[in-house]
Amino acid sequence: MTSTETQPAGPDAGSAPDAPVLEVTDLHVTFPAAGQGRDVHAVRGVSYQLRRGEILGIVGESGSGKSVSSLAAMGLLPEYAEVTGSVRLHGRELLGLDDRQLAKVRGRTISMVFQDPLSALTPVYTVGDQLAEAVRVHNPDLPKAQAAARAVELLRLVGIPNAEQRYRAFPHEFSGGMRQRVMIAMAMANDPDVIICDEPTTALDVTIQAQILEVLKTAQRETGAAIVMITHDLGVVAGFVDRVLVMYAGRPVELGTVDDVYYRTRMPYTMGLLGSVPRLDFQDKAPLVPIKGTPPSLSDLPPGCPFAPRCPLVREECTTGEPPLVRVGAETHQAACVRAAEIEANEWTAADIYPVPEIPEDAAAGTPREDREVVLEVDDLIKHHPLMKGAVFKRRVGTVYAVDGISFDIRERETLGLVGESGCGKSTTLMEILSLNAPQRGRVVVLGRESGRLGWRDRFAVRREVQVVFQDPMSSLDPRMPVFDIIAEPLRTHGHPREALRSRVHELLRLVGLEPAHATRYPAEFSGGQRQRIGIARALALEPRLLVLDEPVSALDVSIQAGVINLLDELKARLGLSYLFVAHDLSVIRHLADRVAVMYLGRIVEIGDVDAIYGAPAHPYTQALLSAIPIPDPEKERSRTHIVLEGDLPNPANPPSGCRFRTRCQKFRQLGDDERQRCLDEEPAVIPLAGAADHGAACHYAEERELL
Amino acid sequence: MFLARRLLNYVVLIFLASSFAYLLAATTLDPRSNYEQLDPRPSQESIEARLDELNLNDSTPLAERYVTWVGGVATGDFGLTIQGRSVNEEIARKAGVTLRLIVVGTVIGCTVGVAIGAYAAVRQYRSFDRVSTGAAFLVLAIPTVVIAVSLQVSAVAINQAAGVQIFQYGGEYTAGLDAGFWGTLGDRLQHMVLPTLTLAIAQFAAFSRYQRNMMLDVLGADFVRTAMAKGLTRRAALLKHALRTALIPTVTYFTFTFGILLAGTTFTEKIYGWNGMGAWVVDSIFTNDVHAVAAVSCFMAVCVMAASFLSDLLYAWLDPRVRVS
């Protein structure tokens, strides 16, 4: 460990204007193994400097060591973690300080915002008390009343309405976005010089993410702090940060300004990462760049470049030694690749170096929509949950309008994307369709047969035709069943000939890109992406016509996600499937879907052809949603203006009168009083837009607007 | 409001518990035999008269005896013992003895148990954790009776080795001692150590295990990390944020273990020769003393409900969320 200087830490300590506020040098973090296992080398030599007011993005997939490296800097790792190297804050070494000394620095000079706002606040103290505690712990002499006043001021600063009353609220009374605001208020309480944000928006919906990014910018303006932004979202990085550090397997593999890293990428991993993101702003549906394989285990690393086993440019020398981070091109641009110079000279891009799969052209693409068979028809579907109160004598105190009158249809060989934020009713819609029970109102017709009017034999037959893939590949496969049994189960249930069982399972495994030899293994032996492929194989076993996909890729890392999306694309074309694809990620939907339906509070607000809606959305909510999503293209992102919606989703048990979106609507605010009256009184229905073939919006004042 | 409703529930429960105890005792115990076996045997008339006087005559319908008993209890009179003494007076004398034992034993046992459990969680898999886990499991595996007797035996050994009566293990105080206020207090403490320790050890074992698990659940919680990120030391974050949250389920657990504690008290009193409620209930069953059994059951029910009420209070204090919602 390096020597410890005892300099007073404070904003003026590093007097030179260009002196780094935070300097991390050759940081290593190892989690020693208990018993038989091997040590986990979570961070292996991270170095970076952070200047005053600068925003540094640290990007990487799960397990790349990006969070661990910053927790190490804060002294927040468990005691058994071995940390070596140097972390200097204003020139003062932090590693090796005892807990008491570190506590004086934490929250005052360097503070942190965590990923999951739902669990980051202590449930038994009020929000205000926790905030005041952050103030008082560093100013013990401050009277309680003043600390409370400061807490209220902070709450107001991060945009919490009625700050005085909300001071006394408990965390569970706040929504996720509001709690994250409180976390940011806590981080800026003592005017820190560095704020570390660990995936601050990952757990939030896009419109809330846009709000939180705004609040973070406010926090930076107020405190003048430098920010370390840890994220896996390349879009957030593009618009928010000055410099980027890309991490892979515990090591930095590329470092530079955003423009250098995005436009003059020199490391194949970064190129693959950028190429694997589905793009909101691209109309043509070129296959995504999948990175083959999975990240290496951090306890058993190959001797050479950790990316070598997955790299398309791998050469013999890559497997002998790990390449150091060296300067490439611009003075501030560094990459860890032996072939960086070659990449520069040939101006290679991701599409040049990665083998992109050929996705066959869909045979039915030419047939007009009207001539194709209707696979699923949903007409005026509702699902209301009663709200009950009382322990012994339950009484109905209200109704949650989870799905409140939605209609759409899906034709053969068509993908309908159902998008919306959490709580909009998209998953409830799926479950209503899959239940095959009579809906509370409206009709669900699957392949011409109406749900709720079938005998058990017919229902059983319909089940063959409609299969589902779930969101979480970890919990949707029985961990005690070998893969063969998992995939064979639907076949056995539906009386598939036993002698053909084995060949069918092997065929399915090959279909989803797995080895037939994998059939004897258990789900735990597979990575997330492979498990999702098993889930897809199981869904395809009975040769369904309609596949219902509930957020099938949202739990996966981008490089893995790309492979699964390509697979879904390919299967649809080869097997002539129809998809009902539920997702909150609008980029994925744009890439996969033919048509899209946008949901808000149990209603469809806009529906139509994917290019029509993404090209010129007409409903203010769709516009806000599309505008809120950051695009992984720094120049485009900088020139965009985001529509930031106010507030949270209203309570679905008590939706606003008239148009449900009016409480947050940016258009509503611009209207005159007479025009507003209509939004207050009359609930808009989905009306086809004039001049568009397949595009309808539920807004009294719908107006197409180009955003991307 | 929340607590008031609870309180009403408790009154009903106590009434039911005591009634069942009375009915059970009145149907199974046979006070008549006490008199019939006397030598010389009293005349049939005098037995009947005596039993009638005590409201214990089994030729009177059970419902009628029960109504008489309930009528008495409603006015605060638990009837007469089989010897014809007032049950109320007996309770007044014995309840204090038992309460002293329970309260001190519980407070020491719970506090030490929670502290050791929480600390063991913080030092998971270190030597402190291993030792405390081993000790707790050892105690859990041994019935209270055996603990009481072993403590007595070791006390005898220590006394002999030291040559002085350090520990007293019989009775509640030395009879006929005249040593002034401090002397009496010291003497009582000397007698108290072993029985209280017996109860406390059993409590410690249960609570340290439970608290350790609860604490482990919150140790890795995000909010503890947040507290440290704010600038709290690890120690402060653990005490103020982790332990506070981890105590909430333990408080509920307290109610459940209290019944077991009362059973333990019975043995302890009997073994150490304390004239408390626990020892009394055992004696009463032998002497077919229906009213004493019912009274002790009522006392136990009140204790359990008091413990439960206390844990409700603690819960509401620890977790303010129940107060607002």
Residue-wise pLDDT tens for chain B (325 aa)? Answer: 667 777 888 889 999 999 999 999 888 888 888 888 887 888 888 888 888 888 888 888 889 899 999 888 888 888 888 888 888 998 988 898 899 889 999 999 999 999 999 999 998 888 999 999 999 999 989 988 898 889 889 988 988 888 887 787 777 777 777 777 888 888 888 888 888 999 899 889 999 999 999 999 998 889 999 999 999 999 999 999 999 999 999 998 888 888 888 888 888 888 888 888 988 988 888 888 889 999 999 999 999 998 888 888 888 888 887 765 5
Residue A533 tokens read as 């492929």
pLDDT value for A104: 92
Mean pLDDT of A120-139: 93
Mean pLDDT of A446-452: 88
Interchain contact, A106 vs B228, CB within 8 Å: yes
- Å from B70 to nearest chain A CA? 29
Residue A637 tokens read as 């992102």
B141 class by beta-carbon count within 10 Å (0-12 exposed, 13-18 middle, 19+ buried): exposed
- Å from A185 to nearest chain B CA? 11
pLDDT value for A216: 92
Among A124, A134, A186, beta carbon nearest to B245: A124
Interchain contact, A99 vs B232, CB within 8 Å: no
Interchain contact, A133 vs B221, CB within 8 Å: no
pLDDT value for A61: 86
Give yes or no for residue A395 having a pLDDT over 80: no
User: Which 3 state secondary structure label does DSSP give B137?
Assistant: helix
Closest by alpha carbon to A436, among A404, A464, A414?
A: A464
Chain A within 8 Å of B5 (Cβ-Cβ)? no
Instruction: Report chain A residues whose CB lies below 8 A from the CB of B225.
Output: 76, 114, 120
Among B223, B229, B321, beta carbon nearest to A107: B229
Interchain contact, B230 vs A134, CB within 8 Å: yes
Give yes or no for residue A597 having a pLDDT over 50: yes
Residue A355 tokens read as 């083998």
Instruction: Report chain A residues whose CB lies below 8 A from the CB of B234.
Output: 99, 103
A509 vs A187: CA distance, rounded Å: 49
Which residues 248-267 of B have a C-beta within 8 angstroms of A?
Answer: 248
Residue B231 tokens read as 């600038």
Give yes or no for residue A154 having a pLDDT over 80: yes
Among A100, A114, A170, beta carbon nearest to B225: A114
Which residue type, as a one-letter code, is found at position B89?
Answer: E
| ipTM exceeding cut-off 0.90 for this assembly | no
Residue A185 tokens read as 């208020």
pLDDT in tens, B253-266: 888 888 888 888 88
Interchain contact, A106 vs B222, CB within 8 Å: no
Suggest the residue from B222, B230, B241 to mutate for an interface test with chain A (most A CBs closer than 10 A): B230
A484 CB contacts (<8 Å, ≥6 apart)? A502, A505, A519, A520
pLDDT band, residue A689 (cuts 50/70/90): confident
A55 vs A219: CA distance, rounded Å: 12
Q: What is the radius of gyration, based on Cα positions, of chain B? A: 24
Residue ranges per structural domain of chain A: 22-241, 265-353, 364-593, 594-600+607-708
pLDDT value for A329: 80
Instruction: Report chain B residues whose CB lies below 8 A from the CB of A189.
Output: 230
Interchain contact, A124 vs B234, CB within 8 Å: no
Residue with tokens 């190129």: A271
pLDDT in tens, A553-588: 888 888 888 889 999 999 998 898 999 999 888 899
Q: What is the DSSP letter of B243?
A: I
Chain A within 8 Å of B306 (Cβ-Cβ)? no
Chain B within 8 Å of A106 (Cβ-Cβ)? yes
- Å from A22 to nearest chain B CA? 17
Which residues 96-135 of B have a C-beta within 8 angstroms of A?
Answer: none
Closest by alpha carbon to A73, among A209, A183, A193?
A: A193
Mean pLDDT of A592-600: 93
A183 vs A255: CA distance, rounded Å: 28
Is residue A113 within 8 A of residue A183, CB to CB? The reply is yes
pLDDT value for A106: 92
B236 CB contacts (<8 Å, ≥6 apart)? A103, B227
Domains A22-241 and A364-593 share a fold: yes
**Fold (topology level) of A364-593:** Rossmann fold (3.40.50)
Closest by alpha carbon to B142, among B36, B269, B267?
A: B267
Chain A within 8 Å of B221 (Cβ-Cβ)? yes
Is residue A56 within 8 A of residue A228, CB to CB? The reply is yes
Backbone angles phi, psi at B321, to 5 degrees: -65, -30
Neighbours of B96 (CB within 10 A): 12
Q: No. of H helices and E strands in chain B? A: 14, 0
Rounded to 5°, the CA angle A325-A330-A336 comes to 15
Average pLDDT value for chain B: 87
pLDDT in tens, B134-170: 999 999 899 888 988 898 899 889 888 888 877 877 7
Number of Cβ pairs closer than 8 Å across A and B? 81
Interchain contact, B223 vs A186, CB within 8 Å: no
Mean pLDDT of A677-685: 90
Which residues 169-208 of A have a C-beta within 8 angstroms of B?
Answer: 170, 172, 183, 186-187, 189-190
Residue B214 tokens read as 């609860």
Overall size of chain A counted in residues: 708
Neighbours of A331 (CB within 10 A): 8
- pTM of the shown model: 0.84
Average pLDDT value for chain A: 88
Architecture of domain A22-241: 3-Layer(aba) Sandwich (3.40)
Chain A within 8 Å of B85 (Cβ-Cβ)? no
pLDDT value for A5: 40
pLDDT value for A363: 65
Chain B within 8 Å of A73 (Cβ-Cβ)? no
